[in-house]
Amino acid sequence: MAGGEDDGSCPEGFDGEDCDECAPGHFGESCAPCACVNGTCDDGRTGTGCSCDGDWTGAACDMCPAGWAGADCDVCAEGHHPSGADCVVDEPTACRADSASADHYVDPVLGFDDPNYGGGAGACAFRSLEYALSRAAGKIFLSGGTYPLTETIALSEGQELECDADDPGVLSGQPLYETSHIIVRMEPNTAVRRCVLRGEGTTPGYCIQASGPAVIEGTQIEDCGGASLRASGTELSIVGNVFASGGTSIFFQ
């Protein structure tokens, strides 16, 4: 095929005397155009297209790397959070949520998966207590800080809520559950250890409602209104707690 670069008769993107070469800024067998936003074109028939600068990705080098967003790709994308120098997905992956032996850690500040946080491989950090409750089959460890509640915390059978002995987590609020205000509702074979439950003095109200075998240990319960603890059933273990409510400390039904 004659012509080419001298007379402009080559198809769009092609060049050369026989129109068998790519024009500058075009690449591949079809001499497709490069549209590099943050990169340079590796052009020619054997070229691969845009070669991106830095961490830019995508065919036109106009996309942030996975987990990043912003005009300069310097903030975490939605559904991701900082973890060291990276942005990682919110979904916990460092432990098996269906394992009864796995500890699930809740930390509103850290809020990311960290196999070293809290003492060894298999530990997870969750951003919210509600999310941990939905995933954990065993122990849920609550780090120091205040956790304002918008609804009753319900412990299912086998779940244990434990707080840091030196810096206990504070469950704050007195959400409405049926006709009474309850902060924590405990099913049989559950436990609350070393936490602080702080109500708002509303009557009627109970900071904890427990049924059947349950353990409440080293927990401070205050400002609950009606009673600190409403209990039913048998084999309830109450050890080393502090009841600082204006109403009844324990109400058995």
What value does the CA radius of gyration of the chain take, rounded to a whole number of Å? 30
Per DSSP, the three-state class of 252 is: strand
Query: What is the value of pTM for the model shown?
Result: 0.56
Residue-wise pLDDT tens digits, 209-242: 888 889 999 998 887 777 788 887 767 788 777 7
The share of the chain scoring above pLDDT 70, in percent, equals: 72
pLDDT band at 6 (very low <50, low <70, confident <90, very high): very low
Q: What is the model's pLDDT at position 204? A: 61
Which range has the top average pLDDT, 31-45, 66-80, 111-125, 155-169?
Answer: 31-45
What is the dihedral sign for C-alpha 242, 248, 252, 253? negative
CA dihedral 220→184→161→246, nearest 10 degrees, is: 0
Q: What is the model's pLDDT at position 27? A: 93
